[in-house]
Chains A and B, each alone.
Chain A
Amino acid sequence: MEWLTPLTAFYAAAVSVPLLLLLYFLKLKRREQIVSSTLLWKRAVQDLQVNAPFQRLRRNILLLLQLLMLLALLLALAAPILALTAGGARRYVLLIDRSASMSATDIKPTRLDQAKKQAGTFVESLRGESFFSLRGARDQTMVIGFDNHAKVMCNFTADKRQLIAAIDRIAPGDGDSALAEAVMVAQAFAQAPGEEPQNQSVRETAKMILFSDGRIHDLDEIMVSTDELTFHCIGESTENVGVTAMQARRSYEDPDRIDVFATVANYGDEPATTDVQLSINNDVRAVKSVTIPSGKTGDDSDDAGPGKVAVNFALSYAEAGVLQVKQLLRDSLASDDAAWAILSPPKRLSVLLVTNGNTVLELALKACPLAGLDLMSPAQFDANGISDFSAEKAYDVIVLDNHLPAKLPKCRYLVFGRPPNEIDVSVAEQLENQVIVDWRPKHAVLKYVSLTNLFAQECYKMVLPRDAEVLAEFNESPALALLRRKGSVFLLAGFDVLKTTWPFEPSFVLFCYNAVSFLGMQVGQNQQVNLQVGEPIVIQGLAPGVTAAIDGPGFSDSEIKASSAGTIRFPGTDRVGIYGLRISQQLPRLFAVNLLDPLESNIGPRREIVLSGQQVQARESAVTRANLPLWPFLVGLVLILACLEWLIYNRKVRI
């Protein structure tokens, strides 16, 4: 047994016990009653009472009862705890899932609150420090909150108040659940040697207590034996409808036109009908009613896929803005009901072709929807100073056709022929009769491009630096490569187009189109504006030390300073929504942070998780106290004593 607040009881006792005794010494205000003679009464009183007050008190059962009552109350105030667990001190790590699915409201108020409550109960039932404790066993506990990152809320301690405060501090997040990092952190902390010299249980492995809904995507990466981890599954319902994918694109042909593709998924057992609403800058533009079939129910409900419906919108909008797709059905999880995209204003590219005359390339580029295509001979290009090209204002993309310029202004280059100097690419030798053996058709540059029939009569054998991205390979050399150097982007094609069969292929035009689009997209490439939860907001190329103010869901005007390299990095994107970043004398920048994670939208609790190939069943019962707070019993005793006293008093007073 231990006492949580013995001192409080001490102080209360020091005041109340003398007070109660004093009350018995105090004279009562008595009712006057005239009798014929006090003779017999006095004798009776003399018989009854011996003059000494303590003897008087000794026989007073009412006082005895009151003292007992007071004692019981004081003991209750001291909050005695009867420990039902035996054994030596243990170490626990509480792992509390705060990912998006834990914000589901199928358990009121939310799953996370329930998890925190259960964790609180668990902490309450630990054997803490108390100078009244019958034995010295003190359980050490650590609290870790995790979504896609683990955060240590509280290191190992036996202080329950600190632990409960740490549990309370865990805020809901919208990230996905990745337990591996949390487990790694827990194991690292648990093995910290010699931290508490008097604690004999350091060598014992800490037991992990996981509070989660079981929707953890990296379970296969965790190396934990099943008896090290206790799993408490929180969650009941699988009912959720969420936007699991969303993309907004401007059409290349008509940059005013925006195509929005969204996928709405239903994880419930019943088909759901919902309205999907598209809005730009909070103006509703379109609403579509969709019926989503129920999730496929298999034998193993965990693997049942959701019912999905793709929703497409097409609209015309020629300005920058925030686009939102929202499903309007009220469900358990709110953070996946909407997805945002930041629309950049439509941009047509202006391209400079530096060539001694290449009709094929010129025609192919002309086929692309460009703002303008300028032609320049290599002599003109070299004659112009860097200053003319210094900014990206002039051209978005420069196409170099068999030219090695003396200086390379900062821009985006599509290079045919020998790669330029100064970009760490050297040419080993010239090769002949090369065929394409492999390419990356999924890369944006090679989308819909088939290089099967590409044959090069001559080409340069490029020796690329490590960070170069090879997009296509000849049998002896890289054919296409992507490289970033000095703020410029180079798409290198190590051959002369005219010495290949490519111009005869339809893929050539597609490649040019893709390449120009891709390189054009690299304008402000450093600014990734559509992020997933947990991805940091990164802005590069700022003046060092510039301060920016960030607004986001749940906070505003958070100051952040650029590093000495001129980079701002804001990692706190753990809630979905629109984040705004303001730098003085610049246009405000918006970032959309979306959940768009089918794994988190699937809120169905998983009662069984597989760790290192072993199944861990969730504890069926909620966490109950492993110890018994005794104060309710004491208060009950007080009530009984009060009734008893009342009875005795009445019997004494009535004759």
Chain B
Amino acid sequence: MEKTKATTARKRLTDLLDPEFMTRLDALDVLSRKILQGKLQGERRSKRHGQSVEFADHRPYVVGDDLRFVDWNIYGRLEQLFLKLFLEEQDLTVHIVADASASMSMGEPSKELFIKKLAAALGYVSLVNNNRVSMSMFGDGLTGQLANMRGRNYLHQMADFLLTAECDGLSQFDTTCRQVVGGRIGSGVMIVLSDFLFKEGYDSGLRRLIGRQYDLYVIQVLSAQELSPDLGGDLKLIDIEDADVAEITVSAALAKYYKRNLTAYCNELKDFCTRRGAVYVLASSADSVESLVLNYLRRIRLLR
């Protein structure tokens, strides 16, 4: 029974990640640029001194200290009680926040698939390395969340979560961020996957995330059609989310202005992120997730 479920889960995970890719992902791990506080004892150094094999410091004994950690060798030499301090190793929380608003279903290939694949790959790497993984999908607020997954066993659950999530509704980024922060998931690596084309703006939302102890990665996924539109003639553009209408007559000048605006928008987002210590990545849904994960994300040291 357990086995069948696992096979179906595996099978469904392969919808997102092919096995060869997964084997290559096995060799990777999520890196955090900050030494962050985890919740459970884990494989990473933490700021906390505690029980581990890694020596950190000595300090004089005060009453009430655990006598087990007294360095008796020093007492023998100096006849003074010193306590051995060790660095505690804790686990790393990886929080993947993926956009599941209606706009993600656009594009050829769709941004939805790209984001889900990317989330699956990052989740896979994190789970395999015994990190604590939280995965959230958002539209007009959080639409689904899988919290505190750890270990390979959660792979199928993650895949299931990703594959069943549907892209629908408006995107309310600020609300989403408020909910994410309020979820008390704890500090860790936060990866936000979205197209960041929010009418109300992304800055207030991002500011909420940056203010916390997160190592923030902002991955903006745009479709090829958004990066270089292939439109012609007199058009009535309808926003898929809020049915907003823009009447345009496509001309070379308009296309020029569009590209200029797009570049400006992306650069603005990038500036916003870098100035606040977050990492910004722009990806096209037409690119392959594999090369992005295996090459680019390693280069920016999100993965190792």
- Which residues of A are in contact with B by a Cβ distance under 8 Å? 28-45, 47-48, 651-655
Query: What are 13 sample pairs from A and B whose C-beta atoms fall under 8 A apart?
Result: A28-B234, A31-B234, A34-B238, A37-B199, A37-B240, A40-B262, A41-B248, A43-B261, A44-B257, A44-B258, A44-B260, A48-B253, A653-B251
Closest 8 CB pairs of A and B: A36-B106, A36-B103, A37-B197, A44-B258, A30-B236, A44-B257, A38-B246, A652-B251
Do A35 and B236 touch across chains, with their CB atoms under 8 A apart?
Answer: no
On chain B, the residues within 8 Å of A42 by CB distance are 244, 246
Inter-chain contact B238/A35, CB cutoff 8 Å: yes
Distance, CA A478 to CA B52, complexed state (A): 176
Instruction: Tell me which residues across on chain A come within 8 A of B258, comparing CB atoms.
Output: 40-41, 44
Give the chain A neighbours of B74 by CB distance below 8 A. none
| Residue B300 CB within 8 A of the other chain | no
- The yes or no answer to B235 lying at the interface (CB within 8 A) is yes
* Segment of B62-70, B182-190, B222-230 in the binding face: B222-230
- In the complex, the answer to whether B257 meets A36 with C-beta atoms within 8 Å is no
Contact B254 A44 (CB under 8 A): yes
Rounded to whole Å, the gap between the CB of A46 and the closest CB of chain B is: 9
B245 within 8 A of A: yes
User: Does any Cβ of A come within 8 Å of B89's Cβ?
Assistant: no
Contact among A33, A39, A43, A655 with B235 in the assembled complex (CB-CB below 8 Å) = A33
A33 to chain B: which residues have CB within 8 Å?
Answer: 231, 235-238
Of B107, B232, B260, which is within 8 A of A36 by CB?
B107
Bound-state CA distance A42–B236 (Å) is 11
11 additional contacts (CB under 8 A) given A37-B103, A44-B260, A655-B255? A30-B247, A31-B233, A33-B231, A34-B237, A34-B240, A35-B238, A36-B104, A36-B197, A40-B265, A43-B261, A48-B253
Instruction: Mark out the residues of chain B between 181 and 230 whose CB falls within 8 Å of any chain A CB in the assembled complex.
Output: 195, 197-199, 223, 225-226, 228-230
Asked if A32 and B199 make an inter-chain contact with CB atoms under 8 angstroms apart, the answer reads no
B-side interface residues toward A, CB under 8 Å?
103-104, 106-107, 111, 195, 197-199, 223, 225-226, 228-241, 244-255, 257-258, 260-262, 265
Point out the residues of chain B lying under 8 angstroms from A45, CB to CB: 246-248, 254, 257
Say yes or no: A31 contacts B236, CB within 8 Å. yes
Interface centre among A33, A36, A42, A45, by most B CB within 10 Å?
A36
Contact A655 B229 (CB under 8 A): yes
Cβ distance B5 to chain A, nearest Cβ, rounded Å: 36
Establish whether residues A655 and B232, one from each chain, have CB atoms under 8 Å apart when the complex forms: yes
Distance of A367 from chain B, by nearest CB (Å): 112
Shortest A416–chain B CB gap in Å is: 115
From A37, A48, A651, A653, name the one whose CB has the most chain B CB atoms within 10 angstroms.
A37
Docked pose: A40 CA to B198 CA in angstroms: 10
Please state if B236 and A654 are interface contacts (CB–CB under 8 Å).
no
- Give the residue of A28, A39, A44 whose beta carbon is less than 8 angstroms from that of B197: A39
Distance in angstroms between the alpha carbons of A44 and B240 in the assembled complex: 18
- Decide if A651 touches B234 in the complex (CB within 8 Å): no
Given contacts A40-B261, A44-B261, A47-B261, contact A35 B250 (CB under 8 A): no
Structural contact, B246 and A41, CB atoms closer than 8 A: yes
Known A-B contacts A36-B195, A37-B195, A42-B246; the reply to A655 vs B261 at CB < 8 A is no
Chain A: CB-nearest residue to B264: A43
The distance in angstroms between the C-alpha atoms of A36 and B231, with both chains bound, is 14
The residues of B that contact A30 with a CB separation of less than 8 Å are 234-236, 247
Task: Tell me the minimal C-beta distance from A57 to chain B in angstroms.
Answer: 13
Query: In chain B, what residue has the closest Cβ to A650?
Result: B232
Q: How far apart are A32's CB and chain B's nearest CB, in angstroms?
A: 5
Interchain CA distance A313-B58 in the complex, whole Å: 160
Taken together as a complex, chains A and B put the C-alpha atoms of A29 and B236 apart, in Å, by 9
Question: Do A38 and B233 have beta carbons less than 8 Å apart?
Answer: no
B184 → A minimal CB distance (Å): 32
B253 surroundings in chain A (CB, below 8 A): 48, 652
Taken together as a complex, chains A and B put the C-alpha atoms of A117 and B199 apart, in Å, by: 76
**Do residues B239 and A35 form an inter-chain contact, with CB atoms below 8 A?**
yes
Tell me the complex Cα distance, A348–B255, Å. Answer: 111
Task: Please report the C-alpha to C-alpha distance between residue A29 and residue B233 in the assembled complex, in whole angstroms.
Answer: 11
How distant is B113 from chain A, measured CB to nearest CB, in Å?
Answer: 14
Question: In the complex, what's the smallest C-beta–C-beta distance from B75 to chain A, in angstroms?
Answer: 69
Cβ of A38 and Cβ of B250 under 8 Å apart? Answer: no
A34-B236 Cα distance, complex, nearest whole Å: 8
On chain A, the residues within 8 Å of B255 by CB distance are: 655
In the complex, the answer to whether A36 meets B223 with C-beta atoms within 8 Å is yes
- Docked Cα-Cα span, A655 to B107, in Å, equals 18
Q: How far is the CA of A45 from the CA of B236 in the complex (A)?
A: 12
Q: Smallest CB-CB separation from A30: which chain B residue?
A: B236
Residues of chain A with a CB closer than 8 A to B260's CB: 44, 47
* Shortest distance between the CB of B233 and any CB in chain A (Å): 6
**Known pairs A28-B249, A44-B257, A655-B229; A37 contacts B241 (CB<8 A):** yes
A447 to B239 CA separation, bound complex (whole angstroms): 119
Whether A31 lies near B235 (C-beta < 8 A) is yes
Using CB atoms, name the residue of chain A closest to B265.
Answer: A40
Interface centre among B106, B241, B254 (most CB of A within 10 A): B254
The CA of A38 and the CA of B233, in the complex, are separated in Å by: 16
- Which residues of the partner chain B approach A652 to less than 8 Å between Cβ atoms? 250-253
| A32 contacts B235, C-beta separation under 8 Å | yes
Residue of B nearest to A42 (CB): B246
Q: Shortest CB–CB separation between residue A28 and chain B, in angstroms? A: 4
- Docked complex Cα distance between A98 and B234 (Å): 66
Known: A30-B247, A48-B253. A41 touches B240 (CB 8 A): no
User: How distant is the Cα of A41 from the Cα of B246 in the complex, in angstroms?
Assistant: 7
CB of A533, distance to nearest CB on chain B (Å): 74
Closest Cβ neighbor of B258 among chain A residues: A44
Chain A residues with CB below 8 A from B107, complex form: 36
CB distance from A36 to the nearest CB of B (A): 4
Residues of A contacting B250 in the complex (Cβ-Cβ under 8 angstroms): 652-653, 655
Residue of A nearest to B104 (CB): A36
Q: Measured between alpha carbons, how far is A105 from B296 in the docked complex, in Å? A: 92
Instruction: Given A651-B252, A652-B251, A655-B252, decide whether A41 and B232 contact each other with a Cβ distance below 8 A.
Output: no
In the bound complex, residues from chain B placing their C-beta under 8 Å from that of A38 are: 237-239, 244-246
Tell me, in angstroms, the Cα distance from A42 to B246 when the chains sit together. Answer: 6
Contacts of B226 in A (CB 8 A): 35-36, 40
Q: Closest approach, in angstroms, between the C-beta of A30 and any C-beta of chain B?
A: 4
- Inside 8 A of B252's CB, which chain A residues have their CB? 651-652, 654-655
Contact between chains at A655 and B244 (CB < 8 Å): no
Question: Which single residue of chain B is at the shortest CB-CB distance from A33?
Answer: B235
Which residue of the partner chain A has the closest CB to B244?
Answer: A38
* A41–B230 CB distance below 8 A: no
Q: Which residues of B contact A35 (CB under 8 A)?
A: 106, 225-226, 237-240
Please give, as numbers and ranges, the residues of chain A lying within 8 Å of B223 by CB-CB distance: 36
A626 to chain B, nearest CB (A): 48
From A38, A45, A47, residue with most partner B Cβ within 10 Å = A38
Give chain B residues whose Cβ lies under 8 Å from the Cβ of A36.
103-104, 106-107, 111, 195, 197, 223, 226, 239-241
Question: Which of chain B's residues have a CB closer than 8 A to the CB of A44?
Answer: 248, 254, 257-258, 260-261
Across the interface, do B257 and A48 meet the contact criterion of CB distance under 8 Å?
Answer: yes
Contact across chains for B231 and A655 when beta carbons are under 8 A apart: yes
Q: How far is the CB of B56 from chain A (nearest CB, A)?
A: 50
Determine the residue in chain B with the shortest Cβ distance to A37. Answer: B197
A40–B227 Cα distance when bound, in Å, is 11
Residue of A nearest to B201 (CB): A39
With A and B bound together, what is the CA distance between A48 and B251 in angstroms?
Answer: 10
Which of B103, B104, B236, B262 is A32 in contact with, Cβ under 8 Å?
A: B236
A32 close to B197 (CB less than 8 A): no
A265 to chain B, nearest CB (A): 78
Q: How far is the CA of A29 from the CA of B248 in the complex (A)?
A: 11
Residues in chain A near residue B248, CB distance under 8 A: 41, 44-45
- Shortest CB–CB separation between residue B215 and chain A, in angstroms? 28
Minimum CB–CB distance from B284 to chain A (whole Å) comes to 13
Question: What residues on B are CB-neighbors of A28 within 8 Å?
Answer: 234, 249
* Closest beta carbon of chain A to B101's beta carbon, Å: 9
Asked whether A32 lies within 8 Å of B261 as measured between CB atoms, the reply is no
Instruction: Give A28 to B249 CA distance when docked, in angstroms.
Output: 9
Q: How far is the CB of B256 from chain A (nearest CB, A)?
A: 8
Q: In the assembly, what is the distance between CA of A33 and CA of B244, in Å?
A: 12
